Amino acid sequence: MADIQGWTLSDKGTAMDVKTIQGAKLEIERRGKGSPLLLLLSEEEQLDLASPFVAGLAETYELLIPHYPGFGRSERPEWVSSPDDISYMLLDLLDAEGLQNIPVVGLSLGGWIALEMAVKARGIFSKVVLVDAIGVKHGGVFDRDIQDIWTSHPAKVEAWKWHDAAKSKRDFGAMAEEDVSIHARNIESFARFCWDPYMHNPKLKRRLHRVTAPVQVIWGENDGVVTPAYGKAFAEAFANGRFETVAAAGHYPQIEQPAETLARTLAFLAQK
pLDDT tens digit string along 114-130? Answer: 999 999 999 999 999 99
- Taking alpha carbons only, the member of 255, 39, 59, 67 closest to residue 128 is 39
Count how many Cα atoms sit within 13 Å of the Cα of residue 21 in the half-sphere of its side chain: 27
Q: 107 near 42, Cβ under 8 Å?
A: yes
Q: Please report the pLDDT score of residue 13 as a whole number.
A: 54
Beta bridge partners of 84: none
Asked if residue 105 lies in contact with residue 73, where contact means CB atoms within 8 angstroms, the answer is no
Evaluate if residue 234 carries a pLDDT over 90: yes
Cα–Cα dist 95/101, whole Å: 11
pLDDT band at 222 (very low <50, low <70, confident <90, very high): very high
Does residue 167 register a pLDDT over 90?
A: no
Q: Are 60 and 129 in contact (CB under 8 A)?
A: no
Q: What is the secondary structure of the chain as a DSSP string?
A: -EEETTEEE-TTS-EEEEEEETTEEEEEEEESSSEEEEEE--TTHHHHHHSHHHHHHTTTEEEEEEPPTTSTT----TT--SHHHHHHHHHHHHHHHT--SEEEEEETHHHHHHHHHHHHSTTSEEEEEEES--B---S-TT---S--TTTS-HHHHHHHH-SSGGGG---TTTS-HHHHHHHHHHHHHHHHHHTTTTTB-TTTGGGGGG--S-EEEEEETT-SSS-HHHHHHHHHTSTTEEEEEETT--S-HHHHSHHHHHHHHHHHHH--
Closest CA to 22 of 77, 98, 99, 100: 77
**Confidence class for position 168, pLDDT limits 50, 70, 90:** confident
183-197 pLDDT, tens digit each: 999 999 999 999 999
In the chain, how many domains are there?
Answer: 1
| Residue 24 pLDDT exceeds 90 | yes
Cα angle: 237, vertex 243, 246; to 5 degrees = 145
Give me the pLDDT at residue 248, please.
Answer: 98
Q: What is the pLDDT of residue 3?
A: 33
CA gap 74, 16 in Å, rounded: 12
What's this model's pTM, rounded to 2 decimal places?
0.94
CATH number of the domain that residue 261 is part of: 3.40.50.1820
pLDDT, residue 11, reads 38
Residue 12 has pLDDT above 70, yes or no: no
Chain-centre distance of CA 38, in angstroms?
Answer: 10
Domain that holds residue 49: 2-270
